[in-house]
Amino acid sequence: MTAENKRNEAMMPDIPDEKFTIIGIDENAGEVLARKRISYWQDAWRRFRENKIALVAAVILIVMIFFIIFGPMISGYEFEEIDNTAINQGPSAKHWFGTDNLGRDLFARVWQAGRVSLIIGLVGAFVASIVGSIYGGIAAYFGGVVDDIMMRIVEILLSVPYLLIVILISVITDSKSLGTMLVALTLTGWCGIARIVRGQMLQLKSQEFVLAANALGVSPIRIILKHMIPNTMSLIIVAITFDIPGYIFSEAFLSYVGLGIQAPQTSWGALCAAAQQNFMFYPYQLLFPGIMIALTMLSFTLLGDGLRDALDPKQRK
Amino acid sequence: MKKYIIKRIIYMLITMLIITAATFFLMHSIPGDPLSYMARNLPEQTRENYYATYGLDKPVFEQFIIFMKNLLTEGSLGESLRYPGRSITDTILQNSRVSVVPGGLALIFGLIIGIILGIIAALKKNKWPDYVVMFIAIVGITVPVFILASLFQYVFAVRLQILPTQGWGQPENIILPAVVMSFGTIATYARYVKSNMLDVMGQDYILTAEAKGVSRFNVIKKHVLRNAFLPCITLLGGQISGIFTGSFVVEKIFGIPGLGFYYISSINDRDYTMIIGTTIFAAGLFILAQLIIDIAYSLLDPRIRVQ
Amino acid sequence: METNEKILEVENLHVSFHTYAGEVKAVRGVDFELKRGETLAFVGESGCGKSVTAKSIMRLLKPPVAEIKPESRIICNGRDVMKMTGKELYAFRGDEISMIFQDPMTSLNPTMKVGKQIMESLMLHRNMNKKEAREEAVRMLKMVNIPGAEKRVDNYPHEMSGGMRQRVMIAMALACNPKILIADEPTTALDVTIQAQIMDLMRELKEKMNTAIILVTHDLGVVANFADRIQVMYAGQILERGTAKEIFYESRHPYTWALLSSVPKKGNESKEELYALKGTPPDLILPLNECPFASRCEYCMGICKEQNPMETSITDTHKVSCWLMHPKAPKVKSFYDREGR
**Residues of C whose CB is below 8 A from A11:** 310
**Mean pLDDT confidence for A234-263:** 83
* B267 at interface of A, judged by CB pairs closer than 8 A: yes
* A298–B contact, CB cutoff 8 A: yes
- Count CB-CB contacts under 10 A for residue C266: 8
**In terms of DSSP bridges, do strands C212-217 and C180-184 run parallel, antiparallel, or are they unpaired?**
parallel
pLDDT value, residue C49: 86
CB spacing of B279 vs A286 below 8 angstroms: no
Question: Residue C329: which of A1, A20, A29 has the nearest Cβ?
Answer: A20
Residues 49-68 of C with CB under 8 A from B: 58, 60
**CB contact C95 to B (< 8 Å):** yes
Across residues B283-297, what is the average pLDDT? 87
Distance from CA of B173 to the nearest CA of C (A): 43
In this predicted structure, the answer to whether residue A104 has a pLDDT above a threshold of 70 is yes
pLDDT in tens, B123-132: 988 889 999 9
Supply the pLDDT for residue B66: 85
pLDDT bracket for residue A317 (50, 70, 90): very low
Nearest Cα to B207, choosing from C101, C171, C155, C51? C101
All structural domains of chain C with their residue ranges: 104-177
pLDDT (mean) for B160-184? 84
Question: What's the Cα-to-Cα distance from C250 to each of A176, A249, C318, rounded to whole Å?
Answer: 87, 74, 9
Pick A47 or B12 by higher pLDDT.
B12
**What's the maximum distance between 2 C-alpha atoms anywhere in chain B?**
86
Mean pLDDT by 10 residues, chain C (341 residues): 74 88 86 90 86 90 86 89 89 90 88 92 89 92 89 90 90 89 87 85 87 89 85 90 88 86 63 67 77 82 83 87 83 61 40
Does A253 contact chain B (CB < 8 Å)?
yes
From B12's Cα to the closest Cα of chain A, the distance in A is 9
Residue B258: closest CA among B144, B167, B172, B164: B167
A146 has a pLDDT exceeding 80:
yes
Q: Is A164 on the interface with B (CB under 8 A)?
A: yes
A286 vs B30, B150, B165: nearest CB: B150
Nearest to A1 among C280, C297, C327 (CB): C327
Minimal C-alpha gap between A45 and chain C (Å):
14
The answer for B 200-239 residues in CB contact with A (under 8 A) is 238
Contacts of C329 in chain A (CB under 8 A): 20
Distance from CA of A121 to the nearest CA of B (A): 14
Contact C213, C39 (CB under 8 A): yes
**Quick check: A19 and C302 CB within 8 A?**
yes
CA torsion angle C258 C259 C261 C262 (round to 10)? 120
Q: Does C121 touch chain B (CB under 8 A)?
A: yes
Which residue did the predictor score with more confidence, B279 or A223?
A: B279
The rounded percent of chain B whose pLDDT value lies above 90 is: 15
Residues of chain C with C-beta less than 8 angstroms from the C-beta of B205: 106-110
Note the pLDDT of residue A287.
83
Q: What is the CA radius of gyration of chain B?
A: 24
Q: Does A160 contact chain B (CB < 8 Å)? A: yes
Rg over CA atoms, chain C: 21
Which residues of chain C lie closer than 8 angstroms to B208, CB-CB? Answer: 99, 101, 107-109, 169, 172
Dihedral pair phi/psi, residue C28, rounded to 5°: -125, 80
Counted across chains B and C, CB pairs separated by less than 8 A come out at 79
pLDDT at C267: 57
End-to-end CA distance of chain A: 47
How big is chain B, counted in residues? Answer: 307
Average pLDDT over residues A227-240: 80
Residue of chain B nearest C87, judged by CA positions: B215
- Give residue A2's pLDDT: 42
Q: Are B300 and C156 in contact (CB under 8 A)?
A: no
Within an 8 Å CB–CB cutoff, is residue A154 touching chain B? no
> Rounded to a whole number, what is the distance in Å from the CA of A256 to chain B's nearest CA?
8
**Which chain C residues touch A46 with a CB distance below 8 Å?**
20
> Do residues B272 and B212 lie in contact, with contact meaning Cβ atoms separated by under 8 Å?
no
Among residues of chain A, what percentage have pLDDT more than 70?
87
In chain C, which residue's Cα lies nearest the Cα of A18? C302
Task: Tell the burial category of C129 from Cβ atoms under 10 Å away from its Cβ (0-12, 13-18, 19+).
Answer: exposed
Residue A205 CA to residue B245 CA, distance in Å, equals: 42
Q: Please report which residue ranges of B143-271 form alpha helices under DSSP H.
A: 145-152, 172-201, 204-211, 216-218, 225-229, 233-245, 248-254, 259-268
Mean residue pLDDT of chain A comes to 78
B161 in reach of chain A (CB within 8 A) = no
- Give the dihedral sign, CA A195/A198/A202/A204: positive
The chains found to touch C (3+ Cβ pairs under 8 angstroms) are: A, B
The rounded distance, in Å, linking the Cα atoms of B292 and A263 is 44
Q: Name subunits touching B (3+ CB pairs < 8 A).
A: A, C
Is-contact C74 C82, C-beta < 8 A? yes
Residue C285: which of A2, A18, A35 has the nearest Cβ?
A: A35
By Cβ distance, the residue of B204, B215, B302 closest to C90 is: B215
Condensed to tens digits (0 to 9), the pLDDT of residues A106-126 reads 788 888 888 888 898 999 999
pLDDT grade, residue B246 (50/70/90)?
low
- CA-CA distance, C118 to B208, in Å (whole number)? 11
| ipTM, 2 dp | 0.85
> What is residue A277's predicted lDDT score, i.e. its pLDDT?
77
Optimal mutation site among B9, B130, B150, B191, interface A, most CBs of chain A within 10 A: B150
Q: Is the pLDDT of residue A57 over 70?
A: yes
DSSP, res B220:
I
CB atoms B287 and A159 under 8 Å = yes
Q: Which of C:302-321 have CB within 8 Å of B?
A: none
Cβ–Cβ contact A54 with B under 8 A: no
A162 in B contact zone (CB under 8 Å): no
* CB spacing of A272 vs B146 below 8 angstroms: yes
DSSP assignment of chain A: --HHHHHHHHHSPP--GGGGSB----TTGGGS-SS----HHHHHHHHHHH-HHHHHHHHHHHHHHHHHHHHHHHHSS-TT---TTS-SPPS-SSSTT-B-TT--BHHHHHHHHHHHHHHHHHHHHHHHHHHHHHHHHHHHHH-HHHHHHHHHHHHHHHTS-HHHHHHHHHHHH---SHHHHHHHHHTTTTHHHHHHHHHHHHHHHTSHHHHHHHHTT--HHHHIIIIIHHHHHHHHHHHHHHHHHHHHHHHHHHHHHT-S--TTS--HHHHHHHHHHTTTT-HHHHHHHHHHHHHHHHHHHHHHHHHHHHH-GGG--
Nearest CA in chain A to B20: A160
Cβ distance of C90 and B214 shorter than 8 Å: yes
What confidence tens digit (pLDDT) does each residue in A274-301 have? Answer: 887 777 778 788 888 888 888 898 898 8
Sign of CA pseudo-dihedral A171, A175, A177, A178: negative
List residues in chain C touching A: CB distance below 8 A: 19-21, 278-280, 282-283, 285-286, 295-303, 306, 310, 312-315, 323, 325-330, 332
User: Which other chains touch chain A, taking contact as 3+ CB pairs less than 8 Å apart?
Assistant: B, C
Residue B186 CB partners (closer than 8 Å, separation 6+): B110, B113, B114, B117, B136, B137, B140
Of A11, A25, A34, the CB nearest to C300: A25
- In single-letter form, the type of residue at position C199 comes to M
Q: CB-based contact (8 Å) between A279 and chain B?
A: yes
Of A168, A279, A298, the CB nearest to B138: A298
Please report residues of B whose CB lies closer than 8 A to that of C64.
Answer: none
Nearest to residue B79, comparing CAs of B50, B36, B37, B39?
Answer: B50
Please give, one letter per residue, the 3-state secondary structure of chain C.
CCCCCEEEEEEEEEEEEEECCEEEEEEEEEEEEEECCCEEEEECCCCCCHHHHHHHHCCCCCCCCEEECCCCEEEECCEEHHHCCHHHHHHHECCCEEEECCCCCCCCCCCCCHHHHHHHHHHHHCCCCHHHHHHHHHHHHHHCCCCCHHHHCCCCHHHCCHHHHHHHHHHHHHCCCCCEEEEECCCCCCCHHHHHHHHHHHHHHHHHHCCEEEEEECCHHHHCCCCCEEEEEECCEEEEEEEHHHHHHHCCCHHHHHHHHCCCCCCCCCCCCCCCCCCCCCCCCCCCCCCCCHHHCCCCECHHHCCCCCEEECCCCCEEECHHHCCCCCCCCCCCCHHHC
Chain B hits for C159, Cβ within 8 Å:
306
A-B Cβ pairs (cutoff 8 Å, strict)? 103
Cβ–Cβ gap B203/C106 under 8 Å = yes
A154-179 pLDDT tens trace: 888 887 778 888 888 888 777 677 88
Give the residue from chain A lying closest to B251, CA to CA. Answer: A257
Tell me the C-alpha to C-alpha distance, in Å, between residue C93 and each of B195, B271, C80.
28, 70, 13
Task: Return the exposure string of B216-226: e unless at least 16 CB atoms fall within 10 Å of the residue's CB, then b.
Answer: eebbbebbbbb
- State the Cα–Cα distance between residues C209 and C170, nearest whole angstrom: 13
CA nearest C308 in A: which residue? A12
Q: Which chain B residues are within 8 Å of C99, Cβ to Cβ?
A: 208, 211
